[in-house]
């Protein structure tokens, strides 16, 4: 036997099974991740498409009644502004019964459009997700209608201009935005100084006693001067124009603020179990009852919003005529914008009336 025995022990090479297992696990994990991500994205896309279809469907369902409501406002507005048949706006025009009906039916047409807009908004808000970027092509015109009802910017600016003219305060150097901001602050300050709520008419300041009237004018003049960073007007100048200043505060308007519009819209709609739409408009009789009761601030404002508007001899302090013009123009613009959609059915006669109305309003003084 050999003196020694050499035993060669060979270490096994790294087995390929470990690498294969790792590779398999990585592959399976990757496949699972891809599947999960794919399913997640598909689910998100599916949900977005469902929401989009929901939004589109809601718009389609409300487009027809929106157009119908606008058409009725357009025909009545054409009667007022194009055909010049607006005598019924005056409460003294005979026959009283018929002309009272004409005024109430005009308000019903306006409130009906407010109701359809509110119904559509409520249905859209009930969707699981809503994409504001997917708003309908008539969204701008609908917003103009709501703005016509709610915003009193022209009144604020006119009030500021008249007061500053009386007190020799120069606002010619103000930018448009600065002037608008000051006009708004002056209105708020005037309500504060007279002790009125923001919804009350500043004409109520005329009921103050002589001492309070003078104090109101002095404080308001000082406030405006302070905002302009100039010396306040002389007391003698203020006292000489107290009556004119109070008269400058008293403009007539009929603003229905955005939240009031929502409340009015809620009052105008009821659940509809027999229609693809969730809501329908209440009948004329129910509306007339609400108008007669005037139980809410928005109903009181609406009820008086067109009474005794004089379009023959326009009162420069009655801004309701301007509001009625803007409201009529916005309704006509909704109809024109809707007529450009493939899924809207606006009759040629209604479109012609809307176009004629827009032209007539553009030719009228602001």
Residue 119 has pLDDT above 60, yes or no: yes
How confident is the model over 37-49, as a mean pLDDT? 48
**pLDDT attached to residue 15:** 52
Least Cα distance to 146 among 334, 353, 349 occurs for: 334
pTM attached to this predicted model: 0.78
How confident is the model over 294-309, as a mean pLDDT? 95
pLDDT > 90: percent of the chain: 64
**pLDDT attached to residue 151:** 86
The C-alpha atoms of residue 10 and residue 16 are separated, in whole angstroms, by 17
pLDDT band at residue 50 under the 50/70/90 scheme? very low
The residue among 294 and 342 whose pLDDT is bigger is 294
Contact of 255 with 152, CB cutoff 8 Å: yes
How confident is the model over 36-42, as a mean pLDDT? 51
E strands, the chain, in order: 269-271, 279-281
Residue 235 has pLDDT above 60, yes or no: yes
The C-alpha atoms of residue 259 and residue 74 are separated, in whole angstroms, by 25
The C-alpha atoms of residue 38 and residue 18 are separated, in whole angstroms, by 30
How confident is the model over 202-224, as a mean pLDDT? 91
Residue 342 has pLDDT above 70, yes or no: yes
**pLDDT attached to residue 58:** 87
Looking at the DSSP assignment, which residues form a beta bridge with residue 281?
A: 269
The residue among 293 and 30 whose pLDDT is bigger is 293
**pLDDT attached to residue 9:** 46
CA 243 remoteness from chain centre: 35
List pLDDT tens digits, range 54-78: 788 888 899 999 999 999 999 999 9
Residue 144 has pLDDT above 80, yes or no: yes
pLDDT > 70: percent of the chain: 82
pLDDT band at residue 162 under the 50/70/90 scheme? very high
**pLDDT attached to residue 5:** 46
**pLDDT attached to residue 353:** 96
Residue 198 has pLDDT above 80, yes or no: no
Strands 269-271 and 279-281: antiparallel
Contact of 303 with 256, CB cutoff 8 Å: no
The C-alpha atoms of residue 128 and residue 124 are separated, in whole angstroms, by 9
**pLDDT attached to residue 113:** 98
pLDDT band at residue 53 under the 50/70/90 scheme? low
The residue among 7 and 184 whose pLDDT is bigger is 184
CA distances from 168 to 44, 90, 162, 243, 325 (A): 63, 37, 10, 16, 33
Contact of 87 with 306, CB cutoff 8 Å: no
DSSP class of 95: S
**pLDDT attached to residue 152:** 77
How confident is the model over 274-295, as a mean pLDDT? 95
**pLDDT attached to residue 32:** 67
**pLDDT attached to residue 44:** 46
pLDDT band at residue 199 under the 50/70/90 scheme? low
Looking at the DSSP assignment, which residues form a beta bridge with residue 252?
A: 318
Residue 153 has pLDDT above 90, yes or no: no
**pLDDT attached to residue 211:** 93
Lowest mean pLDDT among 46-60, 158-172, 180-194: 46-60
């Amino acid at each position: 036997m050999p003196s020694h025995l050499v035993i060669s022990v060979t270490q096994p090479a790294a087995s390929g099974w470990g690498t294969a297992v790792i590779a398999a696990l990585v592959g399976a994990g990757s496949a699972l991740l891809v599947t999960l991500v794919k399913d997640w994205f598909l689910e998100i896309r599916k949900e977005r498409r469902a929401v989009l279809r929901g939004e589109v469907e809601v718009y389609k369902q409300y487009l027809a009644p929106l157009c119908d409501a606008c058409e009725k406002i357009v025909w009545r507005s054409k009667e007022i502004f194009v055909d010049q048949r607006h005598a019924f706006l005056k409460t003294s025009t005979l026959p009283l019964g018929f002309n009272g009906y004409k005024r109430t039916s005009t308000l019903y047409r306006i409130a009906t459009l407010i109701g359809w807009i509110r119904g559509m908004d409520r249905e859209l808000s009930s969707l699981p997700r809503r994409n504001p970027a997917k708003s309908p092509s008539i969204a701008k015109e609908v917003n103009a209608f709501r703005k016509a009802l709610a915003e009193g910017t022209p009144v604020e600016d006119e009030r500021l201009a008249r007061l500053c003219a009386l007190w020799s305060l120069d606002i010619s150097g103000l930018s448009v935005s600065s002037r608008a901001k000051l006009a708004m602050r002056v209105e708020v300050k005037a309500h504060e100084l007279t002790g009125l709520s923001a919804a009350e008419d500043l004409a109520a300041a005329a009921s103050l006693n002589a001492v309070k009237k003078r104090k109101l004018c002095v404080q308001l003049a000082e406030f405006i001067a302070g905002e302009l960073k100039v010396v306040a007007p002389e007391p003698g100048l203020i006292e000489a124009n107290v009556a004119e200043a109070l008269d400058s505060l008293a403009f007539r308007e009929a603003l229905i603020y955005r939240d009031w519009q929502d409340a009015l819209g809620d009052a105008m709609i009821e659940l509809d179990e027999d229609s693809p739409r969730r809501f329908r408009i209440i009948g004329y009789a129910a509306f007339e009852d609400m108008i007669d009761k005037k139980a809410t601030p928005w109903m009181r404002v609406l009820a008086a919003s067109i009474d005794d508007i004089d379009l023959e001899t326009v009162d420069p302090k009655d801004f309701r005529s301007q509001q009625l013009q803007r409201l009529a123009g916005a309704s006509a613009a909704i109809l024109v914008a809707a007529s450009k959609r493939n899924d809207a059915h606006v009759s040629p006669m209604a479109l012609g009336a809307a176009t004629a109305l827009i032209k007539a309003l553009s030719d009228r003084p602001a």
